[in-house]
Structure 1
């Protein structure tokens, strides 16, 4: 075990790291510790699984046994780490067992943010952060007709589109004046809202939920800050993610918004790395698939003996809202610029540009998504 790589986490980041390491070294011992079943699946599939005809069982690509055999590594499901002793290169598990690592990769993911709500129904509010959560959501969805989603960000809008397309009444609440408030300029947000409303989504914007109460009939009554009341069979919270940093912080590893790593994805502690939703690289936390893919390749090279710095190209995000096809390349808003928006036929083209006219980011909606490849080629890299 002293020469092994131990990966804590079996999500997309953990498996991406394991796959890339195995491509470069077929003999290096790899151990994956998973807090859940340890199987591999694509988390982004969860928000449009209904429309894709996928049930929870079919989303799983392989269980821990299959994946361990495929990648020639040991996967330990239902295994949690309680302590990292970076001086001894040792992990302590919940049952007291201790494991020695050569190199440690933290792929801990992120937790769903919970709003401070009141009411007797808050314990029944659902979140979907993994496959087990999604199984519970689908079980509860059976026989129900109304779903209320708190949060009109990327995940909230994707779930809203998926649900309304499959016949559910969907209400979406957000304190922003528009859906995807952090990603789209005002005109783009209005276009998204109009398209999703045409599909059947009901938006409640510029307000937030104050309380969630369960009625005697088993339904939920949400009271909003503006005094509006909404009744629903299910309440789904999708207000954002918070990187899991507690384990690292307790070990004396530097954390900020995420676990702080350098361009080698290394923490300031020797032989401890982090990637994925839990990691912060040069002030950036990038909870999307493409950053994980690039990070896993660089990390694999480093832990197999070829120190390789991470480089992020422009990485557009495809929003899974078929009622309003959308592609976004979020700009770095710390760089001075402004949105220049053009309404095209049945679409919106928004370019975030500096004073010299250089494109720093974009948002393309509707028919404008056809310009994705051309505009992406003009974007600056995220990390050189």
Structure 2
């Protein structure tokens, strides 16, 4: 019998790949190895579950046993992979050594941890998976209905959590070095629109500064900001970004830059080892990029599944707008490529704001809008690459 295709990871990328592979190949043994509980759930739902009225258990779509039965595969939950031997085509795990015919790394990303001072720094939470989210809900319940939550970072995830928590009645303080929320992704006018929407919600913004220390204050915390401001909170959440999980790949000698480098077919620098999702660094044009979003992951899952099943298929990525889950100010963003010089031009159409980013040659390279619709997003996507 052929050695199994082994997938390391149990997030959306891992299960999406398993589903796509089983559509094409029902005979090859398939194994999924995960360091966690291996529940199937949609990670993006973590940042708006309060607004949807969903408890953590309600986010679980299926347990590992059900996924194993549905996809006719072996699922090893709570099993850490400690090493990859790509010459022997074997992985070492807490449950023994396994041989693979092809291996897929769907390792996800790890939260960036800030070097904070203070005796409360170790209590700062990051919400990167269902276990983290369950702990967040437990701490919110313990703190009470009007708990004060300090969120470090006003990027995509920080803003989504701020909107969700404020909508549920929690008092939120959002701290970020930028001059506006979403400053690295959105036109200033869109960040201003979000600030305006939050004026009617219990959200306090501390912008243009950072957190120096987090000190315990009884059952609560006191944050000292770089500008000298003190912030009181019952709970502190860090949302300053994610870093692709690459340590296992590095130990195996795979080529790693910011993420695990893959070619147009999702293959790493080692034969029969592939990567996708938040851990991967995709080939994009003449360069490469980490793309921690659902749309490119799904495209990669379908392409890699076809390749594993015997039909080499390149990953053809299309530009897609990122839908920001902030119901108080509905936003869709397609940031311009990093390092591209240009300027934003915004226009208002009734209550809707449309911002376009043109490079120095007048070519549309990015956009953002409020009150978006699929038709309008597609229209703007069609305009990309055209001169104004």
Residue equivalent to 2:170: 168
Classify the secondary structure of the residue corresponding to 2:206.
Answer: strand
**Structure 2: 5+ residue stretches without partners:** none
Q: Is the 8 A contact 1:341 1:349 kept in 2?
A: yes
Residue equivalent to 1:112: 111
CA distance in 1, matches of 2:341, 2:229: 38
Shift of 1:25: 0.8
CA distance in 2, matches of 1:49, 1:276: 22
Match of 1:293 among 294, 298, 316: 298
Residues 19-98 of structure 1 aligned to structure 2 (within 5 Å): 19-94=19-94, 97-98=96-97
Classify the secondary structure of the residue corresponding to 1:199.
Answer: coil
Residue equivalent to 2:151: 149
Residue equivalent to 1:204: 206
Residue equivalent to 1:192: 194
CA RMSD of aligned residues (A): 1.7
Shift of 1:380: 5.2
Matched, 1:260 2:265: no
Shift of 1:340: 1.6
- The structure-2 alpha-carbon separation of the partners of 1:260 and 1:157, relative to structure 1 and needing over 3 Å to count, comes to same
CA distance in 2, matches of 1:67, 1:253: 29
- The structure-2 alpha-carbon separation of the partners of 1:314 and 1:367, relative to structure 1 and needing over 3 Å to count, comes to closer
Q: Is the 8 A contact 2:2 2:29 kept in 1?
A: no
Residue equivalent to 2:366: 361
Residue equivalent to 1:6: 6
CA distance in 1, matches of 2:229, 2:334: 35
TM-score, structure 2 normalization: 0.94
Q: Is the 8 A contact 2:152 2:174 kept in 1?
A: yes
Q: Is the 8 A contact 1:148 1:170 kept in 2?
A: yes
Shift of 1:356: 5.2
Q: Is the 8 A contact 1:327 1:369 kept in 2?
A: no
Residue equivalent to 2:99: 100
Q: Is the 8 A contact 1:349 1:368 kept in 2?
A: no
CA distance in 2, matches of 1:379, 1:48: 30
CA distance in 1, matches of 2:310, 2:28: 11
Q: Is the 8 A contact 1:313 1:380 kept in 2?
A: no
CA distance in 2, matches of 1:256, 1:197: 41
Residue equivalent to 1:351: 356
CA distance in 2, matches of 1:23, 1:170: 45
Q: Is the 8 A contact 2:2 2:28 kept in 1?
A: no
Matched, 1:306 2:311: yes
CA distance in 1, matches of 2:50, 2:79: 30
Q: Is the 8 A contact 1:148 1:235 kept in 2?
A: yes
Of 365-374 and 46-55, more deviation after overlay is shown by 365-374
Residue equivalent to 1:275: 276
TM-score, structure 1 normalization: 0.95
**1:350-370 CA-partner distances (Å, limit 9, x unpaired):** 111235543222111246887
Residue equivalent to 1:342: 347
CA distance in 2, matches of 1:269, 1:373: 38
CA distance in 2, matches of 1:126, 1:142: 15
Shift of 1:89: 0.3
**Structure 1: 5+ residue stretches without partners:** none
Q: Is the 8 A contact 1:348 1:368 kept in 2?
A: no
**1:306-347 CA-partner distances (Å, limit 9, x unpaired):** 111111112111000000100011221344433222244333
Shift of 1:23: 0.7
Alignment length (residue pairs): 379
- The structure-2 alpha-carbon separation of the partners of 1:367 and 1:19, relative to structure 1 and needing over 3 Å to count, comes to closer
Shift of 1:200: 2.5
Classify the secondary structure of the residue corresponding to 1:57.
Answer: helix
**1:114-137 CA-partner distances (Å, limit 9, x unpaired):** 111000001111111000110001
CA distance in 2, matches of 1:131, 1:21: 25
Q: Is the 8 A contact 1:32 1:75 kept in 2?
A: yes
Shift of 1:198: 2.7
